[in-house]
Amino acid sequence: MWRQLSTLSLLFTLGAALAGCSSNETCDPGHPCECSGGQECYIGCEGDGCTPHCSQMNRCGAVCDDNCSSLCHDMDECSTSCGDDCDVKCHGAAACGAICGDRCHFDCHDVGRCGVRAGNQSEIVCHNFSRCDVECTGTCRVHSASPDICDPAQGCTLKCLGAAALTMCSDGSVACGGC
Amino acid sequence: MRQSLARFALSLAVLVICLLNSGAVHAQSTIKQPGNRTSYVFEAEPHLLAGLADPPGFGAGTGLGVGFRGTVELLKNGFIPKLNNSVGIGFGIDYLRYDGWQGPRGRCEEFATAPSGVPVCVRTSSGIGHVNYFYLPVVMQWNFWLHEKWSVFGEPGVAFFLQEGDLDFTPLVLFVGGRYHVTDRITLSMRLGYPAFSFGVSFLL
């Protein structure tokens, strides 16, 4: 009896040793960094040049430093918080939000609510939305498509928080500062 | 996935080598006597589980849990007429709690509100902790009744699994297992394979 039990134990132990276990990945600049499936995921990435990617879940967000390129799609709620020179893309979601620094590029399409607070010299593109609300701390420009004009009556607003004045541009976009 | 299959192949090799070395196959062998075994219609097997490879879906690391497997005998004489083999269909429910997630999945520690009232995470934690899985495997169990005290089986099949509210499907689960027959109707049963190993007691009813 003990011999058989020890054989079973040996088998189980050897199997466990062979199978091993794997450790969690980390999110580092220059490496793919993705969350997909489940209820929620919030990605923190320290260092410049991160590339977080969220898809197919209820809530997802990325917190990263400068030169961050985040992508988010097929979600309920998505968010990005980053430093300067960020590229934030979000589509196919109920709500996309971002808080980003200078020279931020925020592209939001096929989304219920797009909301962004961006730094100086930023560019915001909203396409096929119910609401697109933008706040700029410096100069920025907001482009809209479907509707083609960024107009509060169409759900598109821009608030200039700094010294730059709100300007209506001839191509239907709006800007803080000059067009 | 390739790594998991390699581990599975190694585990299978270990099982075969240990069984051959045990000497159990040679003494009081029943493998060439079709039908020479305890007659039963249902095998009830509560067991403990250890998930040692990353599971399907977004869990990762090591999982521990409990479960139950019920197997109904379909063919008293299996696919090889000259051998003492049988075929059944098995249904199970297994719970495992894994200690990690695939990918850099964290929790939000602090939110700020962006325009449009969209919450934006501005500070994250490093990890989200454990993840719970429920597996519902359906397998074909092919038994080989080697000896009065030993039998082995292979179990290919499929499984549904529920992970943190997401119901998903894996098209291949694969196990090899062995039973040590304590009595005619009670065995110690062990199963090696993917997604989890098991160790339990079977009641041949």
- The tokens describing B44, both together, are 């009830």
Task: Note whether A22 contacts B192, CB cutoff 8 Å.
Answer: no
Please give the Cα distance from A23 to A29 (Å, whole number). Answer: 19
Residues of B in contact with A34 (CB under 8 A): 103
Mean pLDDT estimate for chain B: 86
User: Band of the pLDDT at A165, cuts 50, 70, 90?
Assistant: very high
Contact A47, A68 (CB under 8 A): no
- pTM, two decimals, is 0.60
Q: What is the mean pLDDT of residues B40-62?
A: 91
Residue pair A25/A46 in contact by the 8 Å Cβ criterion: no
Amino acid B108: pLDDT: 87
Q: What is the pLDDT of residue A19?
A: 40
C-beta atoms of A19 and B124 within 8 A = no
Task: Decide if A110 contacts A130 (C-beta within 8 A).
Answer: no
Which percentage of chain A shows pLDDT scores above 90?
64
Q: A125 pLDDT band (50/70/90 cuts)?
A: very high
> How many Cβ atoms from other residues are within 10 Å of residue B194's Cβ?
24
Q: What is the predicted pLDDT for the residue at B128?
A: 58
Which pLDDT score, from 0 to 100, does residue B102 have? 67
**Residue-wise pLDDT tens digits, B14-26:** 554 555 455 545 5
Per-residue pLDDT, averaged over A49-66, amounts to 92
State yes or no: pLDDT of B174 exceeds 80.
Answer: yes
Report the gap between the CA of B114 and the closest CA in chain A (Å). Answer: 6
Average pLDDT over residues B116-133: 84
The band of A34, judged by pLDDT with boundaries at 50, 70 and 90, is confident
Contact B121 A5 (CB under 8 A): no
pLDDT given for residue A90 in this prediction: 97
Q: ipTM for the complex?
A: 0.84
3-state class percentages of chain A: helix first, strand second, coil last, to nearest 5:
10, 55, 35
Whole-number pLDDT of residue B100: 76
Is pLDDT above 70 for A3? no
Please, which residues have CB within 8 angstroms of residue B31's CB and are 6 or more apart in sequence? B25, B83, B84, B144, B145, B146, B147
Question: What number is the average pLDDT over the span B84-110?
Answer: 87
Mean pLDDT of chain A: 86
- Asked whether the beta carbons of residue B103 and residue A35 sit closer than 8 angstroms, the reply is yes
What's the pLDDT at A8? 46
What pLDDT is attached to residue A146? 83
Q: A88-97, B122-131, B162-171: which has the highest mean pLDDT?
A: A88-97
pLDDT over 70, % of chain B: 83
Compute the average pLDDT of residues B166-179. Answer: 91
Average pLDDT over residues A144-154: 88
Tell if the CB–CB gap between A33 and B103 is shorter than 8 Å: yes
The average pLDDT across A132-140 equals 96
Which residue from B minimizes the CA distance to A114? B116
Q: Which of B1-10, B110-119, B128-137, B176-185 has the lowest mean pLDDT?
A: B1-10
**Model pLDDT, residue A16:** 41
Residue A30 has pLDDT above 70, yes or no: yes
| pLDDT above 50 (res A70) | yes
Tokens of A68: 């961050």
Least confident among A5-14, A17-26, B152-161: A17-26
B170: CB partners within 8 A, 6+ apart: B56, B158, B159, B161, B195
Mean pLDDT within B187-193: 96
When pLDDT is cut at 50, 70 and 90, the band that residue A160 belongs to is very high
Residue numbers in B near A27 (CB within 8 A) = 103-104
